[in-house]
Structure 1
Amino acid sequence: MARHPGGPTVDGVVMARVVVTGGAGKLGRACVRDLVDHGWDVVVFDRARPESPTAGVTYLPVDLTDYGQVIDAMLGVEERYHQVDALVHLAAVPAPGLVPDHHTFSNNMLSSWNVISAARRAGVLNIVWASSETVLGLPFDVPPPYAPVDEEYPPRPNSTYSLVKTLEERMAVELCRWDPELKMIGLRFSNVMEPADYQRFPAFDDDPRLRKWNLWGYIDARDGAQAVRLALASDLTGTEVFIVANADTVMRRSSASLLAEVFPDVEVRGELGEHETLLSIDKARRMLGFDPQHSWRDEV
């Protein structure tokens, strides 16, 4: 039977089970904790294991480039679980330039195809995956078409990593065309941060060009986890992509002054708040109810 639950509900209903790939990573750890806190039964597929595993979570060392392992684990593991209701796919080589380009492409593209294909064959219709802010044209050596940037202009991949993310978004469109009941939500995460990372933020003010590559954006891992949970709970069908960033920038300077100095010829659309993000989260707010709760300004 195809399963497309929006997640845990009420009145003693058995909680839904979600596979989180890459659950040992920075964003993955936050997502796992958040989903458990909100009643999900979580299974993690990751070759690594976090130093502090979350209680009650099933951790499986799955090589996502091996389809046999992926489909086997997606269909259930004896004495541990027997079905999967949803998928959150976060696992990947996480940025450009970390490994040779061919490895980035082959690992990330094959892993995504294996995991999504296995989920569909297991009857899963509720899929959320990590796309990336990089599809917006990062590192913005060519200025963005306007600011704040949003989901309205076509992807502009400038790296092998970003190319894969763009292809994943296109793949999702076609898979949802094949199956109108399928839901695939791509979250274009900004640069993921944890509270320990915030101590270095004040130094960014010394040179605004140091962080121009992503329009001074970031996403607190806890707020990234919120976006994942809301995407799972959404009753949307088909493919949607959302920019997921925090509501402010990494800078103490105003957003308007940053654009005026670094991107003086870029059209500014609308009125900007003093530190308002230049990676627009309006769509995520409107359609998912996304509401960032954490700011580096509260930690430093």
Structure 2
Amino acid sequence: MSGNSNTALTLGESARPVKPRVVVTGGSGKLGRATVAHLSSSGYEVINFDRVRPKTASEDGKTGLQGAYRLVEVDLSDMGQVLEALMEIDMAYKKVDAVVHLAAMPSPGQSSSSKQFNTNVSSTYNVLEACRKLGITNIVMASSETLIGIPLDIKPAKLPITEESPLLPESAYSLSKLVGETLADQYVRWSRQSHRNPTGGEIKIVSMRFSNVMLEEEYATFAGWQDDARKRYWNCWGYIDARDGAEAIKLALENKTLKGHEAFIIANNNTVMKRPSKELVEEVFPGVPYTPLNDDPNVTVLSNEKAKRVLGWEPKYDYKP
């Protein structure tokens, strides 16, 4: 990502080398930590918006932030806090260049459905609206593989799943992700309207439908799934290493040709299983048409071809059967 506009200093801020400044919401989470570290090591100044401090953070919040320049405690469901924090924070920074919105109440079943839906939708609206008001036009958002109809109790029409597969949310969580993508569509449409955006320019919003995010140390748990294909059928046996997810985010931020709203499935090249994908599909989804993406017997059933083609992304970290 070249060029930035963060040369102005806020109240009490000390001068320092100028870097492209990126806000990562939810930077203390599993994918967030990997993203903060990766962007920071790639030359970005990263601001983590989160209500949770990373476990490694010092008491004063100045060290142990996985590479973040600052942790700013923000309630993303409060529009005032979001808008102010994207504008400037005393003693810290003024103006940001891009936003990576990862914060959400993760996965179904961890809170009341209404709380999960309302929190996720309001935070996404607040982030997108604040970006509109402030002219931030480079946005990457975490969407979800759950949009494919997880837990797939209703068989998919065909496999592999692609970005063109029907969006069939089956929970409040996945419904909140669908609303997030719908909001993105409309904010892009608004950006094309001269009376709303007199300075011109279609904004870029990238929705990343991450498969089940895994840390390297979690690969040891994969052994417990091998005896029964139905233990992980619910997302077509997909996963993504957090480090590869972070690289996909970086590539999306830096892509200069993308415009409008684009969605990408972000899944590994293989499944979590040792058994061939064709056998898994035939056992769990009998009768569903299936055309493997390539000759790898363990090839992913969640197509990552679009992300490879458009973003130049290639997963590097995986569970090798």
TM-score by length of 1: 0.93
Count the aligned residue pairs: 290
Contact 1:105 1:161 in 2 (8 A): yes
The offset of 1:8, in angstroms, is 6.7
1:228 corresponds, among 244, 249, 254, to: 249
Match of 1:283 in 2: 306
Alignment map for 1:1-300 (pairs within 5 Å): 6-7=1-2, 14-52=18-56, 53-180=65-192, 181-235=202-256, 236-270=258-292, 271-297=294-320
Q: Which structure's relative contact order is higher, taking Cα pairs within 8 Å and 6+ residues apart?
A: 1
Distance 2:84 2:45 in 1: 19
1:3 aligns with none
Residue 54 of structure 1 and its aligned partner are, at CA, apart by 2.0
Distance, in Å, in 2 between the alignment partners of 1:64 and 1:51 is 21
Aligned-partner residue type, residue 138 of structure 1 = I
Higher-Rg member (1/2)? 2
Give the deviation of 1:79 after TM superposition: 2.1
What TM-score does the superposition give when structure 2 sets the normalisation length? Answer: 0.87
Could you tell me whether the CA contact under 8 Å between 2:47 and 2:68 is conserved in 1?
no
Question: For 1:213 and 1:56, how far apart are their aligned partners in 2?
Answer: 35
Deviation at 1:146, TM superposition (A): 1.1
Identity %: 46
Partners of 2:272 and 2:50 in 1: CA distance: 30
User: Does the CA-based 8 Å contact 1:88-1:129 persist in structure 2?
Assistant: yes
Shift of 1:65: 0.9
Q: Tell me which moved more, 65-74 or 185-194.
A: 65-74
- Equivalent position amino acid for 1:201 in 2: F
**Alignment RMSD:** 1.5
The amino acid of 2:40's aligned partner reads V
Moved segments of 4+, more than 3 Å: 6-9
In structure 2, the gaps of 5 or more residues are: 5-16, 57-64, 193-201
